[in-house]
């Protein structure tokens, strides 16, 4: 797996020969969340709670993810906002 925002320089036709796949960070994180959404939400909650300067609410975390291009990821996490 190659995680990159530069997908145009990693065409599937070339990567298949190396048994590789290129994905955006958003797609990779969303796929990872799908493996175990409960554990992922718990881990994100722990990481967010450690932030002190500045503190970050769950809503602010999701907005930051969206602003950083993690639209699919934020969308998947939205139903779990109260647990973040």
Q: How far is Cα of residue 41 from the mean position of the Cα atoms in its chain?
A: 11
List, as one string, the DSSP characters of 50-64. Answer: H--TT---HHHHHHH
In contact, 45 and 83? CB cutoff 8 Å: yes
In this prediction, residue 83 has a pLDDT band, given cuts at 50, 70 and 90, of very high
pLDDT on residue 5: 95
In this prediction, residue 67 has a pLDDT band, given cuts at 50, 70 and 90, of very high
Minimal CA–CA distance to 73: which of 46, 40, 45?
40
Mean per-residue pLDDT of the chain: 96
Q: Residues 63-68: what's their mean pLDDT?
A: 97
Q: Residues 19-29: what's their mean pLDDT?
A: 97
Residue that has been written with the tokens 């932030």 in this structure: 51
Q: Give the domain ranges of the chain.
A: 25-83
């Amino acid at each position: 797996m190659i995680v990159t925002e530069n997908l145009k320089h990693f065409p599937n036709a070339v990567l298949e020969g190396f048994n590789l796949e290129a994905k955006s960070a958003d797609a990779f994180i969303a796929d990872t969340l799908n493996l175990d959404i409960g554990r992922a939400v718990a881990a994100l909650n722990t990481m967010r709670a450690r932030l002190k300067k500045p503190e970050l609410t769950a809503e602010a975390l999701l907005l930051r993810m969206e602003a950083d291009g993690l639209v699919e990821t934020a969308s998947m996490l939205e139903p779990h906002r109260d647990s973040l």
